C-alpha cells in the first residue's frame, strides 16, 4: 500500500448539466435562485445556473473512486469508515462547464491501530481554472 503513495490516476471528465444542478440543489434543500434559474444566476454575474459548492462530490466521484478501489492501495472495505473531506473552492462551476478531475494517493499512515488513507483531487474547468481542491480521508479500523 505505501508503494502506491504518490500514484496519480487517470483524469475524469464531467459535463455539468443545468438539470443535474437543479436536481442536486433540490435534494439538499438549496433555495437560492442562482442554483435554479438561469436569469437569476446571470443577474448575479454568473454565466449560467451555478452549482452549489458541495456539488463537487458529484463531478469528483469519477476520479476519486478508482484510487480508493485500487487493489494496490489495499483498503479493507469491511473495516473502512469515512474520515473526512476538506475542500478549497476556486472558480464557481456553472451549467455548461466541463470539469476534469485528477486524483493522487497523497498519504498513508498508521496511528493507534488505525490506517489512514489520504487522497487529493484537483478539479479544473474547460479554461484550466481550478474550481476545487479536495482532500479525502478514509480510515480503516
**Residue matched to cell numbers 494496490:** 72
Spell out the per-residue pLDDT of the chain, length 141, in tens.
568 898 999 999 999 999 999 999 999 999 999 999 999 999 999 999 999 999 999 999 999 999 999 999 999 999 999 999 999 999 999 999 999 999 999 999 999 999 999 999 999 999 999 999 999 999 999
C-alpha cell at 101: 478531475
**CATH node for 2-140:** 3.10.129.10
pLDDT at 59: 97
pLDDT at 3: 82
Q: What angle do CA 118, 55, 49 make, to 5 degrees?
A: 150
Q: Are 140 and 75 in contact (CB under 8 A)?
A: yes
Please name the residues in contact with 30: beta carbons below 8 A apart, sequence gap of 6 or more: 24, 52
Residue spans per domain, the chain = 2-140
Amino acid at each position: 500500500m505505501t508503494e502506491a503513495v504518490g500514484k496519480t490516476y487517470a483524469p475524469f471528465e464531467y459535463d455539468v448539466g443545468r438539470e443535474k444542478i437543479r436536481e442536486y440543489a433540490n435534494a439538499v434543500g438549496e433555495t437560492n435562485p442562482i442554483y435554479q434559474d438561469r436569469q437569476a444566476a446571470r443577474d448575479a454575474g454568473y454565466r449560467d445556473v451555478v452549482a452549489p459548492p458541495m456539488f463537487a462530490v458529484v463531478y469528483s466521484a469519477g476520479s476519486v473512486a478508482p484510487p480508493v478501489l485500487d487493489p494496490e492501495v489495499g483498503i479493507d472495505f469491511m473495516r473502512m469508515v469515512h474520515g473526512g473531506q476538506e475542500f478549497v473552492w476556486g472558480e464557481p462551476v456553472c451549467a455548461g462547464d466541463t470539469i476534469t478531475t485528477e486524483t493522487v494517493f497523497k498519504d498513508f499512515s498508521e496511528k493507534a491501530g488505525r490506517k489512514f488513507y489520504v487522497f487529493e483531487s484537483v478539479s479544473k474547468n474547460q479554461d484550466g481554472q481550478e474550481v476545487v481542491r479536495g482532500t479525502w480521508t478514509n480510515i480503516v479500523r
